[in-house]
Chain A
Amino acid sequence: MTDRGKWHERLKVTLWTLIVPPAIWAGHFLMAYLWAAISCAKVGAFATFPTLFVVGTIIALTLIALSGWIAWKQTHRPGDSAPHQDSTDIDRLRFLAKSTLLLAGLSFVGVIFTALPVVFLRNCL
């Protein structure tokens, strides 16, 4: 594995980067919950066009997509194909990248699921 190359190849997946996409989902979910709970409790209503929520959702989706893209790039380095089950650096890297990619997919869907309620429900009842 070389340290030279494109910037996204220099980023190394680790156990911490694995949980970046779901952590973004969690952050977005917490934002959505707190935003609704606090504005309903303190204001009694939330904005008819929830700018904050839309921006937050777009940022979350972008970050998840980005981490998924980096992971995808890292799974597609030249070499043997899946399953990545040898005790080598490259296979460990590919495995983590593949798992991160899958988690990014799930987290992306998760954020969209969290955003959907706001399309249908707009008051505090």
Chain B
Amino acid sequence: MRNPWLWALLVAGLTACNAEQSTLHVFGAEARAVRQMALVLTIGAVLIVAIMVALYVRAVRAPEGRLSHDGGMRMVLWLGAIGPTLILTALLIYALPAMRPRATAPGDLTIRVEGEQFWWRVAYDPASDLSPLSSANEVRIPVGRTVIFELTARDVIHSFWIPGLAGKMDMIPGRTNRLVVQAEKAGRYRGVCAEFCGLSHALMAFDVVAMDGADFDAWMARSRAASTGVTASRGARLFDAHGCGGCHAIRGTPHDADIGPDLSRFGERPTLGAGILPPTPANVAAFIRFPQDAKPGARMPAYPQISVADARAIADYLKGLK
């Protein structure tokens, strides 16, 4: 690299802190393999650029006739044709086996995720005999186990991308794609929609929680039960009265609609509105009244008729669901 600012740039880029959503900060086996591959490819590319620059400089400076016609033809043959062919053949043999997906076994955990403008419908173990465990905008996975994501969409094409875990996979209406991954490190991370899907494509993210196996099993068991906090509070009554249950489900209540995000255990969610806002009661109340302010094009209608105080009461109720 001839430009000194490139170095400054590299330093600036690498010191910037982005542990949540980066292909460089990996917590999954798939992402780690790709990061390794990216390093190899980058080193190769930098070497080739350096060689090309050196050759070009020599070419421009060489006096006339330094290279004969036959010499030039040999150069084109060996450096232009045969050399790249050998390098690319090696690259292909290196890269093709890496395309094989991780093997799966019958007992592996399946998580079905559906993209929708502009949020994520999540179902754990959808084929299980136990009561299906639904969620939204948050994906929890056990560390060290193979997880199969079944990915699809109902409205338009989305793409499921957890940069620290694995490469992305599109969610296409009418098709179900599989993405097989294995997390290696527990922690909180972030995933995003990577395929342009409309007005609020930029505001369609989700939380990823990688948990140790035992913690995950305990969480699954706890989550299959009714949400705690399902009480006859004012907020709960307002939730019923305004017909919120027409779209949203809350485990342990009669509401089991499948139109909007499942709100069971909403109080545990780290973010609001598919990864875009801190879930403070004020933010939740504002989102209930004017969802399009936070998220243009959101399918949820605005509720200006709900007073600020009522919205706050609903927010408190939702925050209490654990």
Contact = CB atoms under 8 A, between A and B. Distances in A.
A105 B73 contact: no
B99 interface: yes
A1 interface: no
A82 B73 contact: yes
Interface string A103-125: 00110010011001101110001
A120 B69 contact: no
A87 to B, nearest CB: 20
Interface string B77-93: 00001000100110011
A83 interface: yes
A106 B88 CA distance: 13
A125 B96 contact: no
B101 A125 contact: yes
A82 B93 CA distance: 36
Given A83-B69, A105-B81, A113 B92 contact: yes
B85 A120 contact: no
B97 interface: yes
Contact of A121 (B73, B88, B96): B96
Interface in A72-125: 82-83, 105-106, 109, 112-113, 116-117, 119-121, 125
Top 7 A-B residue pairs of the complex, sorted by shortest distance between their CB atoms: A120-B96, A120-B97, A125-B101, A109-B85, A116-B92, A117-B96, A116-B96
14 contacts: A82-B69, A83-B69, A105-B81, A109-B85, A113-B88, A116-B93, A116-B96, A120-B96, A120-B97, A120-B100, A121-B99, A121-B100, A125-B100, A125-B178
Interface of B: 69, 73, 81, 85, 88-89, 92-93, 96-97, 99-101, 178
Given A83-B69, A121-B96, 12 more contacts: A82-B69, A106-B81, A109-B85, A112-B89, A113-B88, A113-B89, A116-B92, A116-B93, A116-B96, A119-B96, A120-B100, A121-B99
Interface of A: 82-83, 105-106, 109, 112-113, 116-117, 119-121, 125
